[in-house]
Amino acid sequence: MSDNHLPTAELQALDAAHHMHPFTDGYELAQKGARIITKANGVWLTDSEGEEILDAMAGLWCVNIGYGREELAEVAARQMKQLPYYNTFFQTSHVPAIMLAKKLAELAPGDLNHVFFNGSGSDSNDTNLRMVRHYWALKGQPERFNVIARWNGYHGSTMGSGSLGGMRGIHAQGGLPIPGIHHIDQPDWWSEGGEMSPEDFGLQRAQELEKKILELGPETVAAFIAEPVQGAGGVIVPPETYWPEIQRIVDKYDILMIVDEVITGFGRTGNWFGCETMGITPYIMTCAKGITSGYIPLGASLVSDRIAEVINGSEFAHGYTYAGHPVACAVALENIRLLEEEGIVERAGKEIAPYLKAKWEALTDHPLVGEAKIVGLMGSIALTPDKASRAPFKAPAGSVGVICRERCFANNLVMRHVGDRMVISPPLTITKAEVDMLIERARTSLDETFERIKAEGLY
Ligand code: PMP
Protein backbone atom coordinates (compact mmCIF):
# COMPACT_ATOMS: atom_id res chain seq x y z
CA MET A 1 0.00 0.00 0.00
CA SER A 2 1.24 3.50 -0.78
CA ASP A 3 2.56 5.64 2.05
CA ASN A 4 1.51 8.80 0.22
CA HIS A 5 -0.70 10.98 2.29
CA LEU A 6 -1.22 14.63 3.08
CA PRO A 7 1.53 16.28 5.15
CA THR A 8 1.20 15.62 8.89
CA ALA A 9 0.26 19.21 9.75
CA GLU A 10 -2.58 19.14 7.24
CA LEU A 11 -3.87 15.82 8.55
CA GLN A 12 -3.72 17.19 12.08
CA ALA A 13 -5.65 20.30 11.10
CA LEU A 14 -8.35 18.23 9.39
CA ASP A 15 -8.48 15.89 12.36
CA ALA A 16 -8.95 18.82 14.74
CA ALA A 17 -11.61 20.36 12.50
CA HIS A 18 -13.79 17.30 11.95
CA HIS A 19 -12.89 14.33 14.12
CA MET A 20 -14.23 14.02 17.66
CA HIS A 21 -11.95 11.71 19.68
CA PRO A 22 -13.09 9.34 22.44
CA PHE A 23 -11.83 9.99 25.99
CA THR A 24 -9.92 13.07 24.77
CA ASP A 25 -9.93 16.77 25.57
CA GLY A 26 -10.53 17.99 22.01
CA TYR A 27 -9.24 21.53 22.51
CA GLU A 28 -6.04 20.35 24.13
CA LEU A 29 -5.47 17.86 21.32
CA ALA A 30 -6.13 20.53 18.68
CA GLN A 31 -3.33 22.64 20.19
CA LYS A 32 -0.83 19.77 20.02
CA GLY A 33 -1.99 17.83 16.98
CA ALA A 34 -2.63 14.09 17.09
CA ARG A 35 0.13 11.62 16.39
CA ILE A 36 -1.07 9.94 13.22
CA ILE A 37 -0.41 6.24 12.85
CA THR A 38 -0.18 5.09 9.28
CA LYS A 39 0.85 1.44 9.40
CA ALA A 40 2.01 -1.33 11.70
CA ASN A 41 3.80 -4.65 11.75
CA GLY A 42 4.42 -7.04 14.62
CA VAL A 43 4.69 -4.84 17.73
CA TRP A 44 5.76 -1.79 15.72
CA LEU A 45 3.67 1.21 14.69
CA THR A 46 4.79 3.72 12.08
CA ASP A 47 3.58 7.31 12.26
CA SER A 48 3.05 9.86 9.49
CA GLU A 49 6.60 11.17 10.03
CA GLY A 50 8.06 7.70 9.54
CA GLU A 51 8.91 7.18 13.24
CA GLU A 52 8.76 3.58 14.48
CA ILE A 53 7.07 3.16 17.83
CA LEU A 54 7.03 0.07 20.06
CA ASP A 55 3.37 -0.51 20.92
CA ALA A 56 3.46 -1.92 24.44
CA MET A 57 -0.34 -1.58 24.65
CA ALA A 58 -1.29 -3.74 21.61
CA GLY A 59 -3.53 -0.85 20.49
CA LEU A 60 -6.20 -0.82 23.18
CA TRP A 61 -5.15 -4.16 24.77
CA CYS A 62 -6.43 -5.97 21.71
CA VAL A 63 -3.86 -6.79 19.01
CA ASN A 64 -2.90 -10.07 20.67
CA ILE A 65 -1.59 -11.65 17.48
CA GLY A 66 0.47 -8.60 16.51
CA TYR A 67 -0.02 -6.31 13.53
CA GLY A 68 0.27 -7.21 9.89
CA ARG A 69 -1.07 -10.76 9.64
CA GLU A 70 -1.98 -11.12 5.98
CA GLU A 71 -3.98 -14.28 6.72
CA LEU A 72 -6.61 -12.24 8.55
CA ALA A 73 -6.91 -9.77 5.70
CA GLU A 74 -7.25 -12.58 3.20
CA VAL A 75 -9.96 -14.36 5.16
CA ALA A 76 -11.86 -11.06 5.50
CA ALA A 77 -11.64 -10.42 1.76
CA ARG A 78 -12.77 -13.95 0.93
CA GLN A 79 -15.72 -13.74 3.30
CA MET A 80 -16.70 -10.31 1.95
CA LYS A 81 -16.86 -11.73 -1.53
CA GLN A 82 -18.82 -14.82 -0.51
CA LEU A 83 -21.26 -13.36 2.03
CA PRO A 84 -20.46 -9.80 3.15
CA TYR A 85 -23.40 -9.55 5.49
CA TYR A 86 -26.15 -11.53 6.93
CA ASN A 87 -27.71 -11.68 10.36
CA THR A 88 -28.84 -14.41 12.69
CA PHE A 89 -32.17 -12.85 13.64
CA PHE A 90 -35.50 -14.45 12.75
CA GLN A 91 -34.48 -18.07 12.25
CA THR A 92 -31.48 -17.68 9.97
CA SER A 93 -27.83 -18.44 10.54
CA HIS A 94 -24.56 -18.47 8.63
CA VAL A 95 -21.47 -20.64 8.55
CA PRO A 96 -18.91 -18.28 10.19
CA ALA A 97 -21.18 -17.66 13.21
CA ILE A 98 -21.92 -21.37 13.60
CA MET A 99 -18.27 -22.42 13.35
CA LEU A 100 -17.07 -19.65 15.66
CA ALA A 101 -19.70 -20.45 18.29
CA LYS A 102 -18.60 -24.10 18.19
CA LYS A 103 -14.94 -23.11 18.50
CA LEU A 104 -15.56 -20.75 21.42
CA ALA A 105 -17.59 -23.40 23.24
CA GLU A 106 -14.62 -25.79 22.86
CA LEU A 107 -12.06 -23.25 24.04
CA ALA A 108 -13.99 -21.83 26.97
CA PRO A 109 -13.71 -23.52 30.35
CA GLY A 110 -16.57 -25.34 32.06
CA ASP A 111 -20.02 -25.42 30.50
CA LEU A 112 -19.88 -22.06 28.70
CA ASN A 113 -21.26 -23.85 25.67
CA HIS A 114 -23.44 -21.12 24.15
CA VAL A 115 -22.55 -17.87 22.42
CA PHE A 116 -24.57 -14.69 21.99
CA PHE A 117 -22.68 -12.48 19.53
CA ASN A 118 -22.36 -8.71 19.92
CA GLY A 119 -20.37 -5.95 18.29
CA SER A 120 -18.01 -4.85 21.07
CA GLY A 121 -17.15 -5.24 24.74
CA SER A 122 -19.54 -2.50 25.85
CA ASP A 123 -22.57 -3.88 24.08
CA SER A 124 -21.66 -7.42 25.20
CA ASN A 125 -21.97 -6.24 28.78
CA ASP A 126 -25.29 -4.58 27.99
CA THR A 127 -26.40 -7.97 26.66
CA ASN A 128 -25.20 -9.64 29.85
CA LEU A 129 -27.03 -7.17 32.07
CA ARG A 130 -30.33 -7.70 30.28
CA MET A 131 -29.77 -11.46 30.07
CA VAL A 132 -29.20 -12.04 33.79
CA ARG A 133 -32.20 -9.93 34.78
CA HIS A 134 -34.35 -11.66 32.18
CA TYR A 135 -33.09 -15.07 33.35
CA TRP A 136 -34.33 -14.43 36.89
CA ALA A 137 -37.62 -13.04 35.60
CA LEU A 138 -38.15 -16.22 33.59
CA LYS A 139 -37.32 -18.23 36.70
CA GLY A 140 -40.17 -16.45 38.50
CA GLN A 141 -37.84 -14.21 40.53
CA PRO A 142 -38.11 -10.79 38.82
CA GLU A 143 -37.11 -9.11 42.09
CA ARG A 144 -33.59 -10.40 41.41
CA PHE A 145 -32.78 -7.18 39.57
CA ASN A 146 -29.71 -5.77 41.33
CA VAL A 147 -26.27 -6.23 39.89
CA ILE A 148 -23.15 -5.69 41.96
CA ALA A 149 -19.97 -4.39 40.34
CA ARG A 150 -16.80 -2.66 41.55
CA TRP A 151 -15.48 0.86 41.84
CA ASN A 152 -12.68 1.38 39.32
CA GLY A 153 -13.82 -1.59 37.26
CA TYR A 154 -14.27 -0.96 33.54
CA HIS A 155 -16.96 -2.63 31.46
CA GLY A 156 -17.49 -0.14 28.60
CA SER A 157 -19.02 3.27 28.06
CA THR A 158 -22.62 2.70 26.97
CA MET A 159 -25.43 3.46 29.45
CA GLY A 160 -25.47 -0.11 30.72
CA SER A 161 -21.79 -1.01 30.62
CA GLY A 162 -20.74 2.46 31.82
CA SER A 163 -23.07 1.96 34.80
CA LEU A 164 -21.58 -1.45 35.53
CA GLY A 165 -18.13 0.09 35.42
CA GLY A 166 -17.04 2.00 38.47
CA MET A 167 -15.38 4.98 36.82
CA ARG A 168 -16.60 8.12 38.53
CA GLY A 169 -15.63 10.26 35.53
CA ILE A 170 -17.99 8.22 33.34
CA HIS A 171 -20.81 8.27 35.90
CA ALA A 172 -20.51 12.04 36.08
CA GLN A 173 -21.57 12.48 32.45
CA GLY A 174 -24.97 11.58 31.04
CA GLY A 175 -26.91 10.42 34.08
CA LEU A 176 -25.18 7.16 35.05
CA PRO A 177 -25.46 4.74 36.76
CA ILE A 178 -28.84 3.42 35.69
CA PRO A 179 -31.02 1.95 38.49
CA GLY A 180 -30.17 -1.35 40.13
CA ILE A 181 -26.37 -1.21 39.81
CA HIS A 182 -24.33 -1.16 43.03
CA HIS A 183 -20.59 -0.89 43.53
CA ILE A 184 -18.21 -2.31 46.10
CA ASP A 185 -14.58 -1.33 46.63
CA GLN A 186 -11.76 -2.71 44.48
CA PRO A 187 -8.93 -5.00 45.63
CA ASP A 188 -6.21 -2.38 45.02
CA TRP A 189 -3.84 -2.96 47.94
CA TRP A 190 -1.24 -0.41 46.79
CA SER A 191 -3.62 2.56 46.90
CA GLU A 192 -6.19 1.48 49.44
CA GLY A 193 -4.67 -1.29 51.58
CA GLY A 194 -3.36 1.01 54.33
CA GLU A 195 -1.58 -0.92 57.08
CA MET A 196 -3.20 -4.27 56.22
CA SER A 197 -1.30 -7.17 54.68
CA PRO A 198 -2.27 -7.77 51.04
CA GLU A 199 -3.82 -11.13 52.06
CA ASP A 200 -6.03 -9.64 54.79
CA PHE A 201 -6.95 -6.76 52.54
CA GLY A 202 -7.92 -9.11 49.69
CA LEU A 203 -10.22 -11.01 52.02
CA GLN A 204 -11.75 -7.86 53.40
CA ARG A 205 -12.48 -6.46 49.95
CA ALA A 206 -14.04 -9.76 48.84
CA GLN A 207 -16.19 -9.80 51.95
CA GLU A 208 -17.62 -6.43 50.94
CA LEU A 209 -19.52 -8.43 48.36
CA GLU A 210 -21.23 -10.48 51.05
CA LYS A 211 -22.05 -7.33 53.00
CA LYS A 212 -23.59 -5.73 49.92
CA ILE A 213 -25.61 -8.86 49.12
CA LEU A 214 -26.99 -8.93 52.67
CA GLU A 215 -27.68 -5.19 52.63
CA LEU A 216 -29.67 -5.46 49.38
CA GLY A 217 -31.23 -8.82 50.32
CA PRO A 218 -29.88 -11.93 48.54
CA GLU A 219 -33.31 -12.49 46.96
CA THR A 220 -32.88 -9.16 45.07
CA VAL A 221 -29.42 -9.79 43.61
CA ALA A 222 -29.11 -11.10 40.05
CA ALA A 223 -25.40 -11.05 39.37
CA PHE A 224 -21.89 -9.89 40.20
CA ILE A 225 -19.61 -8.65 37.42
CA ALA A 226 -15.84 -8.21 37.52
CA GLU A 227 -12.68 -8.38 35.45
CA PRO A 228 -10.28 -11.16 36.57
CA VAL A 229 -7.58 -8.48 36.57
CA GLN A 230 -8.78 -4.87 36.29
CA GLY A 231 -7.29 -3.50 33.09
CA ALA A 232 -8.36 0.08 32.45
CA GLY A 233 -8.39 0.59 36.24
CA GLY A 234 -4.60 0.25 36.18
CA VAL A 235 -3.78 -3.49 35.87
CA ILE A 236 -4.78 -4.16 39.45
CA VAL A 237 -3.80 -7.76 40.24
CA PRO A 238 -5.84 -8.76 43.30
CA PRO A 239 -4.21 -10.41 46.34
CA GLU A 240 -4.37 -14.21 46.17
CA THR A 241 -7.04 -14.38 48.85
CA TYR A 242 -9.51 -12.34 46.81
CA TRP A 243 -10.96 -14.59 44.13
CA PRO A 244 -11.47 -17.74 46.21
CA GLU A 245 -13.51 -15.71 48.70
CA ILE A 246 -15.55 -14.06 45.93
CA GLN A 247 -16.28 -17.50 44.47
CA ARG A 248 -17.38 -18.81 47.89
CA ILE A 249 -19.77 -15.88 48.30
CA VAL A 250 -21.41 -15.99 44.86
CA ASP A 251 -21.87 -19.76 45.23
CA LYS A 252 -23.40 -19.39 48.71
CA TYR A 253 -26.10 -16.94 47.55
CA ASP A 254 -26.50 -18.33 44.02
CA ILE A 255 -25.46 -15.03 42.46
CA LEU A 256 -24.64 -15.33 38.74
CA MET A 257 -21.01 -14.41 38.20
CA ILE A 258 -20.19 -12.52 35.00
CA VAL A 259 -16.48 -12.46 34.29
CA ASP A 260 -15.47 -9.68 31.93
CA GLU A 261 -12.64 -11.14 29.86
CA VAL A 262 -12.58 -8.39 27.23
CA ILE A 263 -8.91 -7.76 28.03
CA THR A 264 -7.94 -10.97 29.82
CA GLY A 265 -9.33 -13.35 27.18
CA PHE A 266 -7.37 -14.97 24.35
CA GLY A 267 -4.03 -15.39 26.04
CA ARG A 268 -3.43 -12.09 27.80
CA THR A 269 -2.84 -13.60 31.27
CA GLY A 270 -0.79 -16.55 30.03
CA ASN A 271 -3.79 -18.90 29.66
CA TRP A 272 -6.59 -18.69 27.13
CA PHE A 273 -8.85 -17.03 29.71
CA GLY A 274 -8.19 -15.02 32.87
CA CYS A 275 -10.67 -17.11 34.85
CA GLU A 276 -8.33 -20.08 34.35
CA THR A 277 -5.41 -18.04 35.69
CA MET A 278 -7.43 -16.79 38.66
CA GLY A 279 -9.40 -20.00 39.32
CA ILE A 280 -12.86 -18.51 38.78
CA THR A 281 -16.02 -20.26 37.53
CA PRO A 282 -18.35 -17.83 35.74
CA TYR A 283 -21.87 -18.28 34.43
CA ILE A 284 -21.27 -15.72 31.69
CA MET A 285 -18.02 -14.55 30.15
CA THR A 286 -17.65 -11.30 28.18
CA CYS A 287 -15.29 -11.42 25.19
CA ALA A 288 -14.16 -8.84 22.62
CA LYS A 289 -10.78 -7.33 21.65
CA GLY A 290 -8.43 -10.37 21.41
CA ILE A 291 -11.20 -12.49 19.87
CA THR A 292 -10.25 -10.91 16.51
CA SER A 293 -6.98 -9.38 17.74
CA GLY A 294 -8.74 -6.08 17.09
CA TYR A 295 -8.55 -6.47 13.29
CA ILE A 296 -12.33 -6.07 13.08
CA PRO A 297 -14.99 -5.36 15.75
CA LEU A 298 -16.64 -8.31 17.48
CA GLY A 299 -17.97 -9.09 20.92
CA ALA A 300 -19.39 -12.26 22.41
CA SER A 301 -21.18 -13.34 25.57
CA LEU A 302 -20.25 -16.93 26.41
CA VAL A 303 -23.17 -18.41 28.31
CA SER A 304 -23.40 -21.46 30.57
CA ASP A 305 -25.83 -24.34 30.00
CA ARG A 306 -27.90 -23.29 33.00
CA ILE A 307 -28.62 -19.80 31.66
CA ALA A 308 -28.91 -20.74 27.97
CA GLU A 309 -31.54 -23.41 28.71
CA VAL A 310 -33.77 -20.77 30.28
CA ILE A 311 -33.09 -17.90 27.86
CA ASN A 312 -33.56 -20.18 24.85
CA GLY A 313 -36.99 -21.19 26.14
CA SER A 314 -38.65 -18.05 24.75
CA GLU A 315 -37.78 -15.01 22.66
CA PHE A 316 -35.03 -12.81 24.13
CA ALA A 317 -35.96 -9.39 22.71
CA HIS A 318 -32.40 -8.26 22.19
CA GLY A 319 -29.87 -8.12 19.34
CA TYR A 320 -27.66 -5.86 17.25
CA THR A 321 -27.55 -5.56 13.45
CA TYR A 322 -23.83 -6.28 13.33
CA ALA A 323 -23.80 -9.00 15.99
CA GLY A 324 -22.05 -12.09 14.69
CA HIS A 325 -21.12 -10.29 11.47
CA PRO A 326 -19.88 -12.98 9.06
CA VAL A 327 -16.67 -11.13 8.20
CA ALA A 328 -15.87 -10.58 11.89
CA CYS A 329 -16.63 -14.21 12.73
CA ALA A 330 -14.44 -15.44 9.87
CA VAL A 331 -11.57 -13.22 11.03
CA ALA A 332 -12.03 -14.41 14.65
CA LEU A 333 -11.86 -18.04 13.53
CA GLU A 334 -8.64 -17.43 11.61
CA ASN A 335 -7.17 -15.41 14.49
CA ILE A 336 -7.91 -18.23 16.94
CA ARG A 337 -6.54 -20.82 14.52
CA LEU A 338 -3.24 -18.94 14.28
CA LEU A 339 -3.05 -18.28 18.04
CA GLU A 340 -3.55 -22.01 18.58
CA GLU A 341 -1.60 -23.61 15.74
CA GLU A 342 1.41 -21.32 16.02
CA GLY A 343 1.44 -21.85 19.79
CA ILE A 344 1.29 -18.08 20.35
CA VAL A 345 -0.76 -18.24 23.57
CA GLU A 346 1.35 -21.06 24.94
CA ARG A 347 4.65 -19.38 24.12
CA ALA A 348 3.48 -16.06 25.55
CA GLY A 349 2.51 -17.76 28.81
CA LYS A 350 5.43 -20.13 29.21
CA GLU A 351 8.36 -18.28 27.64
CA ILE A 352 7.72 -14.57 27.29
CA ALA A 353 5.70 -13.99 30.48
CA PRO A 354 8.45 -15.19 32.88
CA TYR A 355 11.10 -13.31 30.91
CA LEU A 356 9.07 -10.09 30.98
CA LYS A 357 8.08 -10.59 34.63
CA ALA A 358 11.71 -10.70 35.83
CA LYS A 359 12.58 -7.51 33.94
CA TRP A 360 9.34 -5.75 34.85
CA GLU A 361 9.68 -6.49 38.55
CA ALA A 362 13.30 -5.33 38.46
CA LEU A 363 11.99 -1.84 37.62
CA THR A 364 11.26 -1.46 41.34
CA ASP A 365 14.96 -0.59 41.73
CA HIS A 366 14.10 2.75 40.11
CA PRO A 367 13.58 5.54 42.65
CA LEU A 368 10.09 6.34 41.31
CA VAL A 369 8.70 2.79 41.10
CA GLY A 370 6.91 1.49 44.19
CA GLU A 371 5.36 -1.80 43.16
CA ALA A 372 5.44 -3.75 39.90
CA LYS A 373 2.59 -6.14 39.14
CA ILE A 374 2.32 -8.47 36.19
CA VAL A 375 0.26 -11.45 35.16
CA GLY A 376 0.97 -13.02 31.80
CA LEU A 377 1.52 -10.12 29.43
CA MET A 378 -0.36 -7.41 31.33
CA GLY A 379 1.58 -5.38 33.87
CA SER A 380 1.66 -2.16 35.84
CA ILE A 381 4.05 -0.12 37.94
CA ALA A 382 2.99 2.33 40.63
CA LEU A 383 4.89 5.62 40.65
CA THR A 384 5.44 7.16 44.06
CA PRO A 385 7.71 9.68 45.80
CA ASP A 386 7.93 7.36 48.85
CA LYS A 387 7.95 3.60 48.42
CA ALA A 388 7.68 2.78 52.12
CA SER A 389 4.53 4.80 52.80
CA ARG A 390 3.12 4.32 49.26
CA ALA A 391 2.41 8.05 49.30
CA PRO A 392 0.97 9.89 46.31
CA PHE A 393 2.82 12.83 44.74
CA LYS A 394 2.27 16.40 45.85
CA ALA A 395 1.08 17.14 42.33
CA PRO A 396 -2.56 16.35 41.45
CA ALA A 397 -3.16 12.61 40.98
CA GLY A 398 -2.19 11.47 37.51
CA SER A 399 0.00 14.41 36.59
CA VAL A 400 3.25 12.47 37.03
CA GLY A 401 1.67 9.60 35.07
CA VAL A 402 0.95 12.00 32.22
CA ILE A 403 4.55 13.22 32.22
CA CYS A 404 5.80 9.63 32.15
CA ARG A 405 3.46 8.69 29.31
CA GLU A 406 4.67 11.71 27.34
CA ARG A 407 8.31 10.78 27.94
CA CYS A 408 7.51 7.24 26.73
CA PHE A 409 5.85 8.60 23.63
CA ALA A 410 8.86 10.86 22.98
CA ASN A 411 11.06 7.75 23.28
CA ASN A 412 8.87 5.86 20.79
CA LEU A 413 7.22 3.60 23.33
CA VAL A 414 3.46 3.41 23.84
CA MET A 415 2.81 2.87 27.53
CA ARG A 416 -0.44 4.09 29.03
CA HIS A 417 -0.91 5.86 32.35
CA VAL A 418 -3.82 5.25 34.70
CA GLY A 419 -3.48 7.93 37.32
CA ASP A 420 0.11 7.52 38.48
CA ARG A 421 0.32 3.87 37.41
CA MET A 422 1.96 2.98 34.11
CA VAL A 423 0.55 -0.04 32.33
CA ILE A 424 1.60 -2.40 29.53
CA SER A 425 -0.18 -5.04 27.50
CA PRO A 426 1.97 -5.79 24.44
CA PRO A 427 1.08 -8.12 21.57
CA LEU A 428 1.53 -11.77 22.63
CA THR A 429 3.98 -12.15 19.76
CA ILE A 430 6.55 -9.80 21.30
CA THR A 431 10.06 -11.31 21.19
CA LYS A 432 12.60 -11.35 24.01
CA ALA A 433 14.72 -8.80 22.14
CA GLU A 434 11.65 -6.54 21.90
CA VAL A 435 10.98 -7.03 25.62
CA ASP A 436 14.53 -5.79 26.23
CA MET A 437 13.84 -2.70 24.11
CA LEU A 438 10.55 -2.10 25.92
CA ILE A 439 12.28 -2.19 29.32
CA GLU A 440 15.20 -0.05 28.12
CA ARG A 441 12.84 2.62 26.78
CA ALA A 442 10.72 2.44 29.93
CA ARG A 443 13.80 3.01 32.07
CA THR A 444 14.93 5.98 29.98
CA SER A 445 11.42 7.44 30.22
CA LEU A 446 11.32 6.90 34.00
CA ASP A 447 14.72 8.63 34.37
CA GLU A 448 13.49 11.59 32.31
CA THR A 449 10.27 11.75 34.32
CA PHE A 450 12.30 11.77 37.52
CA GLU A 451 14.52 14.62 36.28
CA ARG A 452 11.51 16.60 35.13
CA ILE A 453 9.50 16.30 38.36
CA LYS A 454 12.57 17.18 40.43
CA ALA A 455 13.07 20.29 38.27
CA GLU A 456 9.42 21.24 38.65
CA GLY A 457 9.45 20.69 42.43
CA LEU A 458 6.89 17.88 42.26
CA TYR A 459 9.08 15.33 44.01
N1 PMP B 1 -14.74 -4.57 29.35
C2 PMP B 1 -13.43 -4.43 29.58
C3 PMP B 1 -12.80 -5.23 30.68
C4 PMP B 1 -12.68 -3.56 28.81
O5 PMP B 1 -11.37 -3.40 29.06
C6 PMP B 1 -13.30 -2.86 27.77
C7 PMP B 1 -12.53 -1.93 26.85
N8 PMP B 1 -11.32 -1.48 27.29
C9 PMP B 1 -14.67 -3.03 27.57
C10 PMP B 1 -15.35 -3.91 28.38
C11 PMP B 1 -15.40 -2.29 26.51
O12 PMP B 1 -15.11 -2.81 25.28
P13 PMP B 1 -15.38 -1.92 23.94
O14 PMP B 1 -14.44 -0.76 24.03
O15 PMP B 1 -15.08 -2.90 22.85
O16 PMP B 1 -16.79 -1.50 23.96
Of 23, 129, 155, best ligand 1 pocket probe by most atoms within 8 Å of the beta carbon: 155
Task: Return d(Cα 318, Cα 136) in angstroms, integer.
Answer: 16
Atom of ligand 1 nearest to the CA of 261: 3
Q: Over the stretch 400-436, which tens digit does the pLDDT of each residue have?
A: 999 999 999 999 999 999 999 999 999 999 999 999 9
Whether the bond into 177 is cis, omega within 30 of 0:
yes
- The pLDDT-based confidence of 458 (bands split at 50, 70, 90) is confident
CA atoms of 20 and 26, how far apart (whole Å):
7
pLDDT score, position 56:
98
Band (42; pLDDT cuts 50, 70, 90): very high
3-state SS assignment for residue 332:
helix
d(CA 17, ligand 1 centre) in Å? 28
- Ligand 1 atom with least separation from CA of 289: 15
Instruction: Give the largest Cα separation in the chain, rounded.
Output: 66
User: Angle of helix 399-410 relative to helix 432-455, nearest 10 degrees?
Assistant: 130
Q: How far is the CA of 196 from the centre of ligand 1 (A)?
A: 31
Q: Indicate if ligand 1 lies below 6 Å from the C-beta of 120.
A: yes
Q: Each residue of 344-382: pLDDT tens digit?
A: 999 999 999 999 999 999 999 999 999 999 999 999 999
Alpha carbons 428 and 339: distance in angstroms, whole number: 9
Q: Domains of the chain by range and CATH?
A: 35-68+343-455 (3.90.1150.10), 71-341 (3.40.640.10)
pLDDT mean over 386-402: 94
Q: Which atom of ligand 1 is least distant from the CA of 264?
A: 3
pLDDT tens track for 113-167: 999 999 999 999 999 999 999 999 999 999 999 999 999 999 999 999 999 999 9
Give me the pLDDT at residue 4, please: 78
Query: What integer pLDDT is reported at residue 223 of this predicted model?
Result: 99
- Residue 397 near residue 358, CB atoms below 8 Å: no
Q: Does residue 291's CB lie within 6 angstroms of at least one atom of ligand 1?
A: no
- Kindly list the strands in the beta sheet with 37-41, ordered across the sheet, starting from the edge strand earlier in the chain: 37-41, 44-47, 52-55, 413-414
Ligand 1 midpoint to CA 262 (Å): 6
> Residues near 298 by Cβ (< 8 Å), separated by ≥ 6?
117, 118, 119, 120, 288, 291, 292, 325, 328, 329, 331, 332
Ligand 1 mean position, distance from CA 61 (Å)? 9
Ligand 1 atom closest to the CA of 121, numbered from 1:
12
The atom of ligand 1 lying closest to the CA of 231 is 5
Q: What is the pLDDT of residues 69-118, one digit of tens each?
A: 999 999 999 999 999 999 999 999 999 999 999 999 999 999 999 999 99
Residue 9 Cα to ligand 1 middle (Å): 31
Please give the ipTM for the structure prediction: 0.99
Query: Which pLDDT belongs to residue 1?
Result: 46
